[in-house]
Every structure is written in C-alpha cells, then in structure tokens.
Amino acid sequence: MAKFTGKKAKKLAGFNTASMGDIVFILLFFFMVTTTMRESEVKVRTDVPKASEVAKLERKDLTVYINIGPPIAAEQARYGTDTRIQLNDSFKTVDDIRNFIASFREGLDEKDRPYMTTALKIDKETRMGIVSDVKEELRRCQALKIMYNALKAE
C-alpha cells in the first residue's frame, strides 16, 4: 500500500480544461451564423415607429412577415424611392399577398393555422393608403391576426 501513501498520491493528474473554451467558442460561432442566416435580406427600409403598449410576439414560428417601406439606397436605382412591399426576398404587389399567405399557411400544422400571425413591419413615413390595401387583402385571405411592429418606447 505504499503506492497510495507516497509522494505520488499528492500529485493528482489535473483535468485539462484548456480545450473547453474552444468547444464553447465553436458553439458560439454556430449560434452567430445561424441567427444571422435566418433573417431574409431586407430590401426596404423599415424604420418602425415607437410605441409604449407593445406586446411580445407569442409564436415566432407562426409568424409571417410583410415589410413595407421605401427601397434601401442600394435598390433605389432599380426600384425608385416609392413605397414597396417586400415578401420573402423580393418586391411584390398587394395582389401577391394572397399566394404568399396561402403558401405559408400550407406549411403550418393544421392545428396551428388559426394562430398564424402576420407581422407588419412598416416604415413610419409610409402613407396609410398602401397599409389599408394590405389590410384589406389580409382580410380577404382570412389572415386576421396581425401585429404592427413597433419599438418599445421608454
């Protein structure tokens, strides 16, 4: 039993944690990449207004986004500065919303469909005319749950 009482017992082999940081860093990179990839490329400026009574979005996976605003500087040469509607990655018109909503609804579970929310990301300088048209179209598509995106005001 001299093995355990001698000098060797005092020098315990230390657990090498140097690589743990690297592993976590890889995790970190993974999260950074996936969270930025999910966002579709924004082609319109959506500087949403501030509001004090904002509520959080309940189910992000049941949300379809509609962006409305003037095209960003890089797109203005081709699309002008007039207010446009962006669905997914391209400029669309009010009439395209029907198909867009329908295809999104198709991809949802049957039981989740009534909870589908349309988030309207609208630039604050937009005129209400186009917003009303979009809202009317959404009514026709039976997509009645909507949310006006806004920033939390202090």
Partner 1 sequence: MTRNKKETPELNSTSTADISFLLICFFLMTSSMDQSMGINRLLPPIPEEDTKVEIQIKPHNVLQVLVDGQDRLSVNKKQIDIRDLKLTAKEFIQNPANDPAKSSKKEENIPGVGLVPVSEAVISLQNVRSTSYEAYLRVQNELTAAYNELRNEESTARYGRKFDDLNETQRDVITKIYRQRISESPPKDTRKNR
| Span from 4-12, 71-79, 103-111, 138-146 in contact with partner 1 (CB under 8 A) | 138-146
Burial 112-131 (b: 16+ CB within 10 A, else e): eeeebbbbbbbbeebeeebe
Instruction: Output 5 or 34, the one with its CB closest to partner 1.
Output: 34
Beta bridge partners of 111: none
Size of interface with partner 1, in residues (CB under 8 A): 56
Binding partner 1 (rule: CB under 8 A), the pick from 42, 72, 108, 131 is 131
Q: How many CA atoms lie within 13 A of 23 on its CB side?
A: 4
Q: Is residue 102 at the binding interface for partner 1, with CB under 8 A as the rule?
A: no
- 48 or 72, CB closer to partner 1? 48
Amino acid at 135: K
